[in-house]
Amino acid sequence: MSIYPGVLSAPRVPGRSRPAAPRRPWRVVAALATTLALAVAGPTPAHADNPYERGPDPTVASIEATTGPFATAQLTVARSAVTGFGGAIVWYPTSTAEGTFGAIAIAPGFTNTQSAVAWLGPRLASQGFVVATIDTLSVYDQPASRGTQLLAALDYLVGTSAVRSRIDRNRLAVMGYSMGGGGTLAAANTRPSLQAAIPLTGWHTTKNWSGVRVPTLVVGAENDTTAPVASHSEPFYTSLPASLDKAYLELNAATHSAPTSPNVTIAKYSISWLKRFVDDDTRYEQFLCPAPRGSAIEEYRDTCPHS
């Protein structure tokens, strides 16, 4: 990867409180439906308290596993078949017996193609998500453009893609590596209706993200010399509102390219974050709160307990 130009630091702006309107109005509907079901039909079915839970109860082994509980398939989306981004590989669970799934768009970094983040496709899809690892319009696109392209990819997934019927359009998330990580923050800032964002060793000249209202897991790498955590991931995290569900995971002794190959630490906490906030699955809270520790983690900060 080419070394990026120098960065400019911006002063931290205090975070604003999250909007009063609830992010997940289904809670009220689900509570009323549960009350009615109890009165009419007796005991409630499994997962009646959260219709978005997918898969068996998680364990440390299950979130560290290379393959999750869902069988998956993939399809290739040609650049010529879409507008607003450069095509994608889409991974998805083959069974819809449990209902629809949340969807995630993932962007590569500067000079990279989707192959740089391709390992995340089947890994996340097998845990119960539809996942698109995208190509950008140009490998030289800057973070703001990559953010716009991530949103275009999500719009394609829920609008016209062959897997649209498998997706719940209200449960969407973005991820990205390097400039794709900067694009992830930009996308979250643009579209507050997203359910989760995960910038991986992100790079962006903007340091103040106090306007973001999307639960965000910032992943940095201790030995990153391309996007040093002191001038990228750490300021990103601290600028996010204090009232936001957010976390900062710094990978011990890792470099900028850590997200470009299979990484158990990135996978297990990305899965947990996406399950917790895209699926609102509190079964995964145990892996995020209290703050995880271990030899692979240099530092972890959080706003536990999550709302």
Q: Which residues are catalytic?
A: 178, 224, 256
121/130 Cα distance (integer angstroms)? 8
Q: What is the 3-class SS of 226-272, one letter each residue?
A: CCCCCCCHHHHHHHCCCCCCEEEEEECCCCCCHHHCCCHHHHHHHHH
- Asked if 139 contacts 178 with a C-beta cutoff of 8 angstroms, the reply is no
Q: In the block, which residue shows the tokens 């959260």?
A: 50
Compute φ and ψ for 189, nearest 5 degrees: -70, -35
| Omega prior to 51 cis, within 30 of 0 | no
Q: What is the 3-class SS of 200-220, one letter each residue?
A: ECCCCCCCCCCCCCCCEEEEE
255/227 Cα distance (integer angstroms)? 9
Which amino acid type is present at position 266? I
Q: In the block, which residue shows the tokens 């604003």?
A: 16
- DSSP summary character for residue 68: -
Question: Residue 168: enclosing H or E segment and its boundaries?
Answer: strand 167-177
- 117 exposure class (CB count in 10 Å sphere: 0-12, 13-18, 19+): buried
Q: Are strands 101-107 and 129-134 parallel, antiparallel or unpaired?
A: parallel
Q: Residue 261: helix, strand or coil by DSSP?
A: coil
Which amino acid type is present at position 251? L
| Omega prior to 305 cis, within 30 of 0 | yes
